[in-house]
Amino acid sequence: MNGWHAQSLDLRGHSRDLKALNPQGAIFLGCTFDDGVEESLRRRGALIFPKLHNVPFNPYRGGVYTASELYEGIAVTEYESTLDARVYQWSILPGQRGSLDATLAAALHDHAIGDALDELLDHGALAGTKLVGVMGGHAAQRGTKEFADAAKLGRLLAQAGFTVATGGGPGAMEAANLGAYLSGLPDADSIVALEDLAAVPGFRPSVTAWARQAAAVVERYPDGTPTLGIPTWFYGHEPPNLFATHIAKYFANAVREAILLELCDGGIVFLPGAAGTVQEIFQDACENYYGAPETVTPMVLVGREHWERTFPAWPMLQSLAAGKPMADKIFLVDTVEDALAVVAG
């Protein structure tokens, strides 16, 4: 078994096989064994990471999350009782960020999520797809033009054959995941869903009401197009949206940001946003600035007024790109239809 890695597996009932094999050099992370087997494996050279107690999540989990897992029970209980909320509350307990047990559990969890995300993209439901990232502000309210535009962008991208990836949160991120999720349905269904969601415009003052309104849409349309969300408990006050069918949620925001940008091999569309979106623009620009020509992907900023005057990222982006391979890969457009034309071209 040298070189074997077994993660979060129930190995009860396999005692005979495990005792017959040579476990020298094998690693078991968070597995369950019959009585006496764990000690036998450890004695014969296996490295066994034990289950960690007093944490509200599985640090060795074998897959990414789903919205139904993070929001289990939301129809009858308050958001504060859900897994998503309980994990966030655990993460901000006094002294938690300096506790060895807590930081180890969080690091093991993020490693497991990274493994699960790789598996999803290499061999799972999203294998063989090209990812286009949609970045934008969390403040876009349901029922607004900004929200509708982001939903339209997600819909257009998915209908063009791309997988939509977002930061997995509310606002423009929720809208883009929603548009992609409903992309296989007639326009009329998408319009009705937008109208229904507008009854609860945002996650303040009640995440419960906001999530229940989304859950009702998912229940009505349960077989949506796969989409990806990569949120973080670092910004735990921003709940994950329910329209990402696959949710890779991390504790470490820096890791989450880097992975999200890295995975978007079809390019990234930046909708109007503020500090977080500006950060993502220049983090992506840095990768393209120093990257080999074949690794540079399109950067599409939507909204001339916003990116030239409100937050003038475009002039600086142009200056950075001058004379670099990325110069031909940056775009400033007016509409989401223009953005689609760029990434699909």
**Chain segment 301-342, per-residue pLDDT in tens:** 999 999 999 999 999 999 999 999 999 999 999 999 999 999
- Determine the pLDDT at residue 265: 96
Single-letter code of the amino acid located at 251: F
Measured CA to CA in angstroms, residue 32 lies from 1, 28, 282 at distances of 17, 9, 45
- Determine the pLDDT at residue 53: 81
Q: Check whether 98 has a pLDDT greater than 90.
A: no
Per the listing, tokens 């309104």 go with 213
Measured CA to CA in angstroms, residue 65 lies from 58, 88, 250 at distances of 11, 15, 10
**Chain segment 21-72, per-residue pLDDT in tens:** 999 999 999 999 999 999 999 999 999 998 888 899 999 999 999 999 999 9
Given a contact cutoff of 8 angstroms between Cβ atoms, the answer to whether 344 and 313 are in contact is no
- Dump the DSSP string for 262-286: HH-TT-EEE-S-SHHHHHHHHHHHH
**Chain segment 160-185, per-residue pLDDT in tens:** 999 999 999 999 999 999 999 999 99
- Determine the pLDDT at residue 54: 87
Question: Strands of 330-333's sheet, edge to edge?
Answer: 246-247, 228-229, 162-166, 130-135, 268-270, 299-302, 330-333
**Chain segment 106-129, per-residue pLDDT in tens:** 999 999 999 999 999 999 999 999
- The predicted model gives 76-81 an average pLDDT of 97
Strands (E), 20-161: 27-29, 47-49, 130-135
Supply the CATH classification number for the domain 120-266. 3.40.50.450
Q: Residue ranges of the alpha helices (H) in 135-202?
A: 145-159, 172-181, 187-197
In degrees, rounded to 5, the angle at the alpha carbon of residue 119 between the alpha carbons of residues 12 and 266 is: 165
Q: What is the mean pLDDT of the chain?
A: 96
**Chain segment 217-269, per-residue pLDDT in tens:** 999 999 999 999 999 999 998 999 999 999 999 999 999 999 999 999 999 99
Q: Distance between CA atoms of 80 and 64, rounded to whole angstroms?
A: 21
Domain boundaries defined on the chain: 1-51, 120-266
CA-based nearest residue to 196, from 176, 210, 208: 210
Q: Distance between CA atoms of 212 and 262, rounded to whole angstroms?
A: 32
Per the listing, tokens 């993460």 go with 91
Q: Check whether 194 has a pLDDT greater than 90.
A: yes
